[in-house]
Structure 1
Amino acid sequence: MSGYFGSYAMVVVLFLVGMAIFAGGLFVNRMLRPNRPTPEKLTTYECGVDPVGEGWAQSQIRYYVFTYLYVVFAVDAVFLFPWATVFAAPGYGVTTLVEMFVFLGFIALGILYAWRKRVLGWT
């Protein structure tokens, strides 16, 4: 297993060995475990509580807004780190600074809007 494809062949062999160990463990577990299904064991449950009512439940829109705000802050962080590395490079000083303040202004407007709508209060 030398040459260009030798390292790829080694990765494939190790992957296959890992898959064989994983599949073998599942197979041995299936052969050794007891299998006595009853209607009570096959019932859907959550946290040990029997299900009551329908399976569909409505959730509050507030949780979706929290998710959206998290995405906004994550995107903000994704753009801030590369900006910090490019800022010191020659030719990017003032232009990059202005662009980043415009970007942060949009982020600040989003935070201000969320604050005015009382979304940021955790109740």
Structure 2
Amino acid sequence: MPTLNPGYLYAGILLVAGFVFVILAMAVANLLAPHNATKEKLQTYESGETPIGSAWVQYPLGFYIFALLFVAFDVDIVFIISWAVIFKQLSIFGFAEILFFIIVLTLGLVYAWRKGVTRWI
């Protein structure tokens, strides 16, 4: 029977202790926190200023699409950097994969550009 690595046991104990601590802290905070909602507590906080109008403002859809485009390309940079770290270990197949990846990214950017996603106004 193989022996178990004690590192896994320690990691498991820390994981369980972390979950127990978070759940216990949330339960105690919920029990001790006051639950009387007043008008001031229900008011939207605007950095100390009295809010004017409703807090439910609809933003143009272009802002969300632009943000999603930014996140997508930001995550792709992480893939490219991790590929660059192991570049010497890869063969020509690894280079062809990243070239295909960059071509697909470029086509996506050209498509978004032609659709007007990159324009603010």
TM-score per shorter chain, which class? 0.5 to 0.7
> Under a length normalisation based on structure 2, what TM-score does the superposition of the two structures give?
0.58
Q: Following the alignment from structure 2 to structure 1, what is the Cα–Cα distance between the partners of residues 87 and 74?
A: 20
**2:75 aligned partner:** 75
Matched, 1:51 2:50: no
> CA RMSD, aligned part only?
3.8
Q: Which has the higher contact order (CA 8 A, sep 6+)?
A: 2
- The CA deviation string for residues 49-108 of structure 1, in whole angstroms up to 9 with x for no partner, is 3435xx54322110111121112112211111111011112xx23111100010001110
**2:102 aligned partner:** 104
Q: Percent identity?
A: 31
Q: Following the alignment from structure 1 to structure 2, what is the Cα–Cα distance between the partners of residues 88 and 118?
A: 39
**Any gaps of 5 or more consecutive residues in structure 2?**
1-5, 7-12, 22-37
Segments of 4+ moved more than 6 angstroms = none
- Are the equivalent residues in 2 in contact too, given 1:72–1:107 (CA < 8 A)? no
Q: Of the two, which has the highest radius of gyration? A: 1
Q: How many residues align?
A: 103
Paired residue secondary structure (2:99): helix
> Under a length normalisation based on structure 1, what TM-score does the superposition of the two structures give?
0.57
- Are the equivalent residues in 2 in contact too, given 1:114–1:120 (CA < 8 A)? yes
Q: Following the alignment from structure 2 to structure 1, what is the Cα–Cα distance between the partners of residues 99 and 85?
A: 16
